[in-house]
Amino acid sequence: MSVIQQKNNSPKQGLKGYQRVRQAVEEYIRTHNLQSGDRIPTEAELCRKLGWSRPTITRALNEMAEEGVLERIQGSGTFLTQPASTSGYCGIISTPWTEEPGGYTGSLFAGIRQEAAKQALNIKYHLSPTVVSPDEARQQGADGVLVVSPWLGAIDSIMKLMDAGIPVVGMPLHTSAEHLPMVCTYNYGGIYSAVDYLYGMGHKRIAYVLDYMATSDVCERILGFQNAMSANGLQVDRSHLLAGETTISQEYFEYWFENLAVLPTAILSSIRLVVPLLRLMAKRNLRMPEDISLIVTDDPKLDDGLGSSFTCVHQPVFALGQRGMEKLIDIICGRDSGKQEVITARLIKRDSVVPPSA
């Protein structure tokens, strides 16, 4: 297996503009004790009060409308459909991730926010590479913490919050310790089923390229790949397994591809590497799927009809976010004992896989 180490960029500090606007609007609703049907300030008024641009204000309000918190009526204004917090509970979302609209984190946080709005939970963000500490959580008056992090190191912080008696849920981490309060997808099984499918189609030279090896799901995927190959009587060609500690540079990816002694007939690829992979194939006049079949992982956009020709191992990311927040509220209210929940990753078969050419 080829493993490369590159400098990991730290996540951007602070919330994005529209997220700050959203928090300001939620605070306005609470401090003015607004009820369902009450009108909130106009976009122009919010621009003057908050100092943000009109598009930023519009995005925040539209997002809240999509989640059912606000109702926007053309020509009349924007109205509250439900109070910002009727449960009286406050939750902290502790994460190193900034949101990517349309990407994995965009779908994940959309699910989290929708469930928080549905349950009328007041949420605060702790955007940092490190998980919020028990003391910090108490200082902010949190009733619970949702840890949204891919890094294995977050597990220790989750256990510290548990030991301090603070309700906590971790996601999308997966661990063998089933007693920990996690919500995650079964990535091992997803990749295993993908290899089984490729073998059933006649493929025996299967490569796997992926990045962010320090995350729990990537470690499981590699194990699923290796075990599925072995179970089908196939030997893993070490040169056909490329894993990056963080991202894989275009230059290194090209070096790896150009120096393969034997080309695979099928490749499993993380979504971030699909475009550079297709460019490399085009450079060598290789066709997909006639020359190399392709299975992609982690692309919630596929559900929106984009890139729908790719066979993929699909994670229900939006539902994952919803369940993570729902579980946290259930733990806060004493309705959940806090054991791990695993959501199945599903293989969606499309036309990027065909039997290998003779």
The predicted structure's pLDDT at residue 200: 98
The predicted structure's pLDDT at residue 3: 44
CA gap 328, 183 in Å, rounded:
10
The predicted structure's pLDDT at residue 11: 36
Does the pLDDT at position 306 exceed 50?
no
Give residue for tokens 């108490």: 138
Please report the sign of the dihedral spanned by the C-alpha atoms of residue 102, residue 105, residue 106, residue 107.
Answer: positive
pLDDT by residue (tens digit) across 54-74?
A: 988 998 888 888 777 788 887
Q: What is the mean pLDDT of the segment spanning 239-243? A: 92
Q: What is the mean pLDDT of the segment spanning 196-224? A: 88
pLDDT by residue (tens digit) across 331-355?
A: 999 999 999 999 989 999 999 999 9
The predicted structure's pLDDT at residue 152: 79
CATH fold, domain 17-80, is Arc Repressor Mutant, subunit A (1.10.10)
pLDDT tier for residue 138 given thresholds of 50, 70 and 90: very high
CA gap 251, 129 in Å, rounded:
28
CA gap 341, 185 in Å, rounded:
8
Instruction: Name the residue ranges covered by the structural domains of the chain.
Output: 17-80, 90-185+318-344, 186-315
Q: Are 204 and 272 in contact (CB under 8 A)?
A: no
Q: Which residues pair with 78 in a beta bridge?
A: 72
Of residues 63 and 222, more confidently modeled: 222
Does the pLDDT at position 49 exceed 80?
yes
The predicted structure's pLDDT at residue 86: 44
Same fold, 90-185+318-344 and 186-315: yes
Residue among 229, 284, 249, 299 nearest 2 (CA): 249
pLDDT tier for residue 6 given thresholds of 50, 70 and 90: very low
The predicted structure's pLDDT at residue 184: 92
pLDDT tier for residue 305 given thresholds of 50, 70 and 90: very low
Helices (H), 97-215: 104-118, 134-139, 154-163, 187-200
Q: Which CATH superfamily is domain 90-185+318-344 in?
A: Response regulator (3.40.50.2300)
What percent of the chain lies above the pLDDT cut of 90?
41
Q: For the beta carbon of residue 27, count every other beta carbon within 10 angstroms.
A: 12
- Judged on CB neighbours under 10 Å (0-12, 13-18, 19+), 178 is exposed
pLDDT by residue (tens digit) across 18-35?
A: 777 888 887 777 777 777
9's torsion region: left (phi>0), alpha (psi -120 to 50) or beta? beta
Of residues 341 and 100, more confidently modeled: 341
Of residues 120 and 207, more confidently modeled: 207
Could you please report the per-residue DSSP string of 215-268?
BHHHHHHHHHHHHHHHHTT-PPPGGGEEEESS---HHHHHHHHHT-SS--SEEE
Q: What is the mean pLDDT of the segment spanning 127-151? A: 91
CA gap 108, 148 in Å, rounded:
9
Q: What is the mean pLDDT of the segment spanning 259-281? A: 91
pTM given for the model = 0.72
- Buried/exposed 319-331: b ≥16 CB within 10 Å, e otherwise: bbbbbbbbbbbbb
The predicted structure's pLDDT at residue 121: 82
- Out of 3.40.50.1000, 3.40.50.300, 3.40.50.2300, 3.30.1340.30, select the CATH number for domain 186-315: 3.40.50.2300
Mean pLDDT, the chain, rounded, equals 84
